[in-house]
Structure 1
Amino acid sequence: MEKIRARRLLALSSSGCETVKLRTRRSKLYNKNSSSGSHSIFGVGITLFSVIFRLVNCLLVQTSFVPDEYWQSLEVSHRMVFKYGYETWEWKEGLRGYAYPLLFAAVYKTLHLLHYDTVQLLVLLPRVLQALLAAYADVKLYHLVRRLESPDVAKWTYFCQLCSWFTWYCCTRTLTNSMETTLTTLALCYYPLQSIKTHNSWKYLSLVSLAVVVRPTALIVWLPLLLCHVWRDDNKLKLITQHALPVAAATLVLSTLIDCIFYGKWIFVQWNFLKLNVLHNVAEFYGAHPWHWYFSQGFPVVLGSHLPLFMHGCYLASKRHRLLIVSITWTLLVYSLLAHKEFRFIYPVLPFCMIFCGISLVKLRSWRKPAVGALLGLNLLPALYVGLVHQRGVLDVMGHLQPLCDSRDQPHVLFLMPCHSTPLYSHLHCQIRLQFLECPPDLSGNPGYVDEAATFYSDPLHWLRTSFTNTSSLPSHIVLFDSLEKEISVFLSENGFVKQAEIFHTHFPEGRVGKKIFIYNQ
């Protein structure tokens, strides 16, 4: 009897344990599903917020940054679809690829087929498309950091990304640098920072290849990461022959076919770009800076108030993040070797920097609130100023010229401004005569070469009188910066030109650029 009772008690005890285990498993499964569900809802929320944020970002950037955001994209796209416009010397020399403008050409063609190709939509929709891609990159960066680090680090990295004044200023612009940065961020999300064994390289290699097609200098950022991947991979030959080479070859063939179609001849744009910009250093024609410029000015300005957090985050970062530090440093060093330097060239490494800023904010527990407040204040004001105020005149002037499209006369507008100061047909969308000062570099090696813009500014009055010898050749409208008005006032008055409009441009004029833009007409 005692044995039977013992067996029953043991059975009941065992049954109780199994019940407890089953309940524990159910509880864990429920918590996991609940966590997964809440994370899924949060993922939808962060995606929706990112889209709304970048669309607002797009609408609140109404200024001009550099001529390339029009002349290497929208102007080319407009000519591809509507068969009129102007292409700069880079396109005549086969220096640029048509793959990036083709994206906006597809938007233009769709609008044209639907008979909705108004100038407002032609200007806005390409930037909306760029904003949506930027929002997608923001979300992917958040999920990347969440996978590598804690949810807190992901949250603060995302916050830093949205706070960045330079990202706000650039990400919705139709610049090749903006697309290069978006593709670089997306590629990083599929790059094996953590583990190679279960990794599929196709996605990230495809995105890197696209970034290189859009802007060949994207290879600078990715070279350390690619070499590290090859070094760490156990099957190097398979990675190179079955992944890297097929992806690179397919992308290169596709981009070359696109270029050949639109150039109307066999051409290899990537080689032309390398030959003229690196071997012949043609970019130096547009300005040179000292070697340390990126370290002393470029990088600190682009990072802004994030710089202390970035440095602190680099100090705290784990071993697996050192590769990103190497990539950032390598990029700055390589670009420092080139004479011509611009802030936007190092924009693609900015998302890398945000990861270290997020790591820093998580550790700054007692200082987090003041740090967050400082980030918001020190980024919000410059972002709104450069987006809404600084250098807006060159876009506003196109709106003032828009009524000329409906004129029964034959308007002739002369832009007496530094070359490529304004967009042209992509912001007017009508075939009126537009003339501006050109400044292509001398590719023949002539030591005495002087471009048209330099010739004009050396003696503006003489240039005008020799260029327009009779009244029948005079333009109907002249657009100029206020700093030039005194020098050509005699020409304007003797030919009956009257000031039609004054348009604010910037509070900080430099060189040949003035505070205001004047429109004169006869």
Structure 2
Amino acid sequence: MKVLTLINCLLVQTSFVPDEYWQSVEVSHRMVFKYPLTTSSAAVGLDYYYYYYYYYYLTTYKYSKENPKTLCTSGTDIWLPRIIQALLAAFADVKFFFLVQSLEGRDVAKWTWTVVQFTFLKFNIFYGVADFYGSHPWHWYFTQGFAVVIGPHLPLFLYGCTLAFRRYKILLAAVIWTLVVYSLLPHKEFRFIYPVLPFCMVFCGISLANLKAWRRTAAFTLLLSNLVAALYTGLIHQRGTLDVMSHLQTLCNVRGISSLPQPDILFLMPCHSTPFYSHVHCPMKMKFLECPPDLGEEGYVNEADRFYDNPLHWLRTSFPYKSSLPTHLVLFDVLEKEISVFLQGNNFVRTAQIFHTHFPEGKVGGSIFIYERH
């Protein structure tokens, strides 16, 4: 179990959602290194301090601060937090296996564990489009959300419900209750109902254990359908926001060289589109379009929305003098045409094009461009 979880951890080269970094490693990194040196990203301090930040602090970043050369060159400061969290997830899988074994016996526990492993990445692909976040009708979890989260396991779940309804009606009631309660909230996301998945896997395991003749066919179908989605979403889909940070990390070498302009990077992207200092690991100047929550201020519009209302106007008013311009701009390709006049007029030259996704939509493009001012 631990081996599979670690393989999953090391396999993933893509990103899910901003909270993956901005409510985990970015907070921990800020706690230890006090980056950023400016106030442009102070909003990171408002994120929640979950229990596992303690592990990040004691392991990765504390050691990283004491051994900066080793970790900065090897990338351990990025990978070690992932590995720690993967081990915690593997521990949860082991305890879940023994729980099901105590309830249903080893055979059902074995098949329940099998279907759990098949869910490891299947739902990532559904996190790719900006329109999947935000407000949805009350029935969204019942008509779309739950079906997406459970995916190809749905037939096994339904069959398992018919087999074990009397024994586990409390588990089924918990699933339905969760869907009902979250349906009352206007803001809906797939991940909000992810905690019901282990309950559903118990029913799926019971189904496989009772299929007998069709058991191997069903298991193989699940494996194939999930593996294809896992490889695509883990290696290809939405990888640009991580790759661009690796590219920008090379600019850390410029710091301290007086003959070269010091890096000053501006992310012209939906706020929190990329990780931040946890993935460059040096205090060069960086800024992104911020979107702090509306605390009731009359006529409040966040910086990101003001920018996208009129990008060219925002750039011209924010940087009236050439001396105030950043050295680098990072943007999705869909924005390039709209601000091309600003780019050309201020001698910005595209120096990198990084693939992000085959399914661009809205403000999120298929590629990420890096522009440098010459």
2:282 equivalent to 1:435 = no
The answer for the alignment partner of 2:55 in structure 1 is 103
Aligned equivalents of 2:365, 2:122: Cα separation in 1:
26
User: Once the two structures are superposed, what CA deviation does each residue of 1:185-215 show, in whole Å capped at 9, x if it has no partner?
Assistant: xxxxxxxxxxxxxxxxxxxxxxxxxxxxxxx
What is the alpha-carbon root mean square deviation over aligned residues? 1.9
1:88, distance to aligned residue in structure 2 (A)? 5.7
Cα distance change on mapping 1:346 and 1:384 into 2, 3 Å: same
The code of the aligned residue for 1:512 comes to K
Q: Which moved more, 1:469-478 or 1:313-322?
A: 313-322
Cα distance change on mapping 1:147 and 1:168 into 2, 3 Å: farther
Cα distance change on mapping 1:114 and 1:90 into 2, 3 Å: closer
Identity %: 60
Aligned equivalents of 1:329, 1:167: Cα separation in 2:
22
The code of the aligned residue for 1:494 comes to G
2:363 equivalent to 1:516 = no
Aligned equivalent of 2:30, options 76, 79, 92: 79
Aligned equivalents of 2:368, 2:226: Cα separation in 1:
28
Unaligned runs of 5+ in 2: 126-132
Aligned equivalents of 1:69, 1:103: Cα separation in 2:
16
How does 1:1-12 map onto structure 2 within 5 Å?
none
The answer for the alignment partner of 1:404 in structure 2 is 251
1:319 counterpart SS class:
coil
Aligned equivalents of 2:7, 2:186: Cα separation in 1:
36
User: Once the two structures are superposed, what CA deviation does each residue of 1:128-172 show, in whole Å capped at 9, x if it has no partner?
Assistant: 0111111111122111111111321111001001111447859xx
User: Once the two structures are superposed, what CA deviation does each residue of 1:58-101 show, in whole Å capped at 9, x if it has no partner?
Assistant: 01111110101111111110111112237564744xx6235432
1:110, distance to aligned residue in structure 2 (A)? 2.7
Cα distance change on mapping 1:436 and 1:90 into 2, 3 Å: closer
Aligned equivalents of 1:88, 1:339: Cα separation in 2:
28
Aligned equivalents of 1:89, 1:511: Cα separation in 2:
25
1:341, distance to aligned residue in structure 2 (A)? 1.0
1:372, distance to aligned residue in structure 2 (A)? 1.2
Asked whether the 8 Å contact 2:121–2:234 carries over to 1, the reply is: no
The answer for the alignment partner of 2:305 in structure 1 is 454
Aligned equivalent of 2:72, options 86, 110, 118: 118
How does 1:475-490 map onto structure 2 within 5 Å?
475-490=326-341
1:117, distance to aligned residue in structure 2 (A)? 3.5
Aligned equivalents of 1:98, 1:404: Cα separation in 2:
31
1:374 counterpart SS class:
helix
Larger relative contact order (CA 8 Å, sep ≥ 6): 2
Aligned equivalents of 1:429, 1:165: Cα separation in 2:
29
The answer for the alignment partner of 1:282 in structure 2 is none
The answer for the alignment partner of 2:186 in structure 1 is 339
Asked whether the 8 Å contact 2:157–2:204 carries over to 1, the reply is: yes
2:15 equivalent to 1:64 = yes
Cα distance change on mapping 1:459 and 1:415 into 2, 3 Å: same
1:320, distance to aligned residue in structure 2 (A)? 3.5
The answer for the alignment partner of 1:238 in structure 2 is none
Asked whether the 8 Å contact 1:75–1:424 carries over to 2, the reply is: yes
The answer for the alignment partner of 1:356 in structure 2 is 203
2:86 equivalent to 1:135 = no
The answer for the alignment partner of 1:242 in structure 2 is none
Q: Give the TM-score normalised by structure 2.
A: 0.90
The code of the aligned residue for 1:109 comes to K
2:114 equivalent to 1:164 = no
Asked whether the 8 Å contact 2:100–2:202 carries over to 1, the reply is: yes
Q: Which has the higher helix share?
A: 1
1:118 counterpart SS class:
helix
The code of the aligned residue for 1:164 comes to T
Aligned equivalents of 2:16, 2:277: Cα separation in 1:
18
User: Once the two structures are superposed, what CA deviation does each residue of 1:294-333 show, in whole Å capped at 9, x if it has no partner?
Assistant: 1111111111100110111111115342211111111111
1:66 counterpart SS class:
coil
Unaligned runs of 5+ in 1: 1-49, 171-285
Aligned equivalents of 2:44, 2:5: Cα separation in 1:
31
User: Once the two structures are superposed, what CA deviation does each residue of 1:353-394 show, in whole Å capped at 9, x if it has no partner?
Assistant: 111100001111122122112101111111111111111100
2:347 counterpart SS class:
coil
The answer for the alignment partner of 1:253 in structure 2 is none
Structure (1 or 2) with the larger CA radius of gyration: 1
2:318 equivalent to 1:467 = yes
The code of the aligned residue for 1:291 comes to W
The answer for the alignment partner of 1:328 in structure 2 is 175
1:59 counterpart SS class:
helix
Aligned equivalents of 1:515, 1:114: Cα separation in 2:
37
